[in-house]
Amino acid sequence: MTIRNVIVACDYAYIEGGAARVAVQTAVELSKRSNLKVYFFAGCGEPCQELVQSSVQVISLGMYDLLGNPSKLDAMKKGIYNRKAGKLLEDLLNTLKENETIIHVHTWTKVLSSAIFAIADKKNIPVFLTVHDYFLTCPNGGCYDYVKNEICERKPMSFNCVVCNCDSRHYYYKVWRCMRQFRQNRVMRNCKNIRYIFISEFEKKQLVRRFGEPKWQFMLKNPSTFSERKRVLAEKNEIYLYIGRVSEEKGVPLFCEAVENAGVKAVVVGDGGLKKDLEKKYPDITFTGWLEKAQIDQWIEKSRCLIFPSRWYEGSPLTVPEVQAYGIPCIVTDCSAAVDNIVTEKNGLIVKADGKEMCSAIAKMANDEIVAKMSYNTFELFDEKSYSNDVYIKKLLQIYEKGV
């Protein structure tokens, strides 16, 4: 098979989150760095400037996502299986030669649904799926109990799973999610043309033990860009930094408790549902809200250490490498893919999602010599090129060739 056409599929035509950002970046960079004709097939929204200013042909269906749909009934129906999205993908495929076309899926659970996989299977088109989350196996996509605020080890879609109220909003949503998962499993587990691209070893391990070992599997970490690199003298700084969404599963309350008990200066960069409550509870911590990248970089340069306190299975958090590029050592919890970036005692520390253990790690970072050594190691160990668009596209094209 000679690949000439790549359809990058994503729920959103704009950068709605990390996965959408990688999808857009994939399409744009493929169009720049290869001879392939690139299409961006999106369910929702107007195309972002990155796509508009590229040679990528954008097909945005102009549909609602699950939460934006004014009709709850329509949202429920299309969320389980979006026949129209499937039909429109089939219409696009009918204009292309089947033996020259592949599909690269990034997200599908909020608009497109598993219908796109069914159509690809019907047309015998190879599908490459970058696995950004845990929706392959878990109805709520996180292997996390949002009611108890803990990682869920129930067998996905077992009786214990279905009857468990783990949804962040209401059990009725969980019931609907299980209906969607049941239909999705029927479609995707019978598709023989899906090639799975994992974004971290940690994520792969968690998925494989719940989903099984797929026949076609590859490893490719997400790309990222970094400002001009220079080592921050972390040992001269005092601030312990958190960057990300301010929510329970991200471990922000754990971060706040630990830095308060340790008596250190701390800054939370980000926003979310817990921000107002935590601001009141912890007046000595600076909460900045969302910031532009240049502003975030300024806080990184003032930081002694990044704390990544996640309480759930992050697939491949880019926050850690983004600060490591500056030589900032990190304290990360052992329940996320951030552990893949840490060599214990060399460029950071790995702790359990526990306040006392995190507080002890912070106490260790009070030693300037230890921080200076870790900062130097962090800067020297960091491989900026491995995150570059050039390396990402080169490896992606190799995956495409191996997978057809």
Q: 64 pLDDT exceeds 80? A: yes
User: What integer pLDDT is reported at residue 85 of this predicted model?
Assistant: 98
User: What integer pLDDT is reported at residue 251 of this predicted model?
Assistant: 96
Burial 362-399 (b: 16+ CB within 10 A, else e): beebeeeeebbbbbbbbbeebeeeebbbebbbebbbeb
**Nearest Cα to 353, choosing from 144, 210, 198?**
144
Do residues 43 and 61 lie in contact, with contact meaning Cβ atoms separated by under 8 Å?
A: yes
Burial 228-240 (b: 16+ CB within 10 A, else e): eeeebebbebebb
User: What integer pLDDT is reported at residue 201 of this predicted model?
Assistant: 94
Average pLDDT over residues 321-337: 95
Average pLDDT over residues 294-317: 94
User: What integer pLDDT is reported at residue 173 of this predicted model?
Assistant: 94
User: What integer pLDDT is reported at residue 393 of this predicted model?
Assistant: 97
User: What integer pLDDT is reported at residue 3 of this predicted model?
Assistant: 96
CA distances from 160 to 54, 118, 176 (A): 48, 28, 16
Helix (H) or strand (E) holding 214: none
CA distances from 313 to 36, 132, 208, 374 (A): 35, 11, 13, 25
User: What's the one-letter identity of residue 166?
Assistant: C
What kind of architecture, by CATH, is found in domain 5-223+388-403? 3-Layer(aba) Sandwich (3.40)
Q: What is the pLDDT of residues 93-126, one digit of tens each?
A: 999 999 999 999 999 999 999 999 999 999 999 9
Please state the pTM of the whole predicted model.
0.92
User: What integer pLDDT is reported at residue 395 of this predicted model?
Assistant: 98
User: What integer pLDDT is reported at residue 17 of this predicted model?
Assistant: 86
The Cα–Cα gap between 330 and 201 comes to 19
Average pLDDT over residues 174-193: 94
> Which residue blocks in 34-103 are alpha helix, DSSP H?
49-52, 72-80, 83-93
User: What integer pLDDT is reported at residue 293 of this predicted model?
Assistant: 87
Average pLDDT over residues 128-139: 95
Q: 2 pLDDT exceeds 90? A: yes
Helix (H) or strand (E) holding 176: helix 171-188
Neighbours of 1 (CB within 10 A): 13
- Split at pLDDT 50, 70, 90, the class of 139 is very high
Q: 227 pLDDT exceeds 80? A: no
Average pLDDT over residues 324-330: 97
User: What integer pLDDT is reported at residue 169 of this predicted model?
Assistant: 87
Average pLDDT over residues 68-96: 97
The Cα–Cα gap between 114 and 118 comes to 7
18 burial (CB, 10 Å; 0-12 / 13-18 / 19+) is: middle
User: What integer pLDDT is reported at residue 317 of this predicted model?
Assistant: 86
DSSP helix/strand/coil, 404: coil
By percentage, how much of the chain surpasses pLDDT 90? Answer: 92
Q: 34 pLDDT exceeds 90? A: yes
Query: CB under 8 Å to 215, separation ≥6 — which residues?
Result: none
Joined together, the tokens standing for residue 124 give: 């015998």
User: What integer pLDDT is reported at residue 168 of this predicted model?
Assistant: 86
Average pLDDT over residues 334-353: 94
User: What integer pLDDT is reported at residue 314 of this predicted model?
Assistant: 87
Do residues 181 and 157 lie in contact, with contact meaning Cβ atoms separated by under 8 Å?
A: yes
Q: 228 pLDDT exceeds 80? A: no
Do residues 196 and 131 lie in contact, with contact meaning Cβ atoms separated by under 8 Å?
A: yes
Q: 61 pLDDT exceeds 80? A: yes
The Cα–Cα gap between 169 and 161 comes to 16
CA distances from 63 to 43, 45, 318, 374 (A): 6, 7, 29, 49
Do residues 52 and 71 lie in contact, with contact meaning Cβ atoms separated by under 8 Å?
A: no
Residues of the chain with CATH 3.40.50.2000: 5-223+388-403, 234-384
Q: 77 pLDDT exceeds 80? A: yes
Mean pLDDT of all residues in the chain?
A: 95
Q: 14 pLDDT exceeds 80? A: yes
At residue 39, φ and ψ (nearest 5 deg) are -115, 145
User: What integer pLDDT is reported at residue 190 of this predicted model?
Assistant: 87
Average pLDDT over residues 324-336: 96
DSSP helix/strand/coil, 169: coil
User: What integer pLDDT is reported at residue 156 of this predicted model?
Assistant: 95
Average pLDDT over residues 68-83: 96
**Nearest Cα to 392, choosing from 339, 318, 308?**
318
The angle that helices 171-188 and 115-122 make with each other, rounded to 10 degrees, is 10
What kind of architecture, by CATH, is found in domain 234-384? 3-Layer(aba) Sandwich (3.40)
User: What integer pLDDT is reported at residue 326 of this predicted model?
Assistant: 95
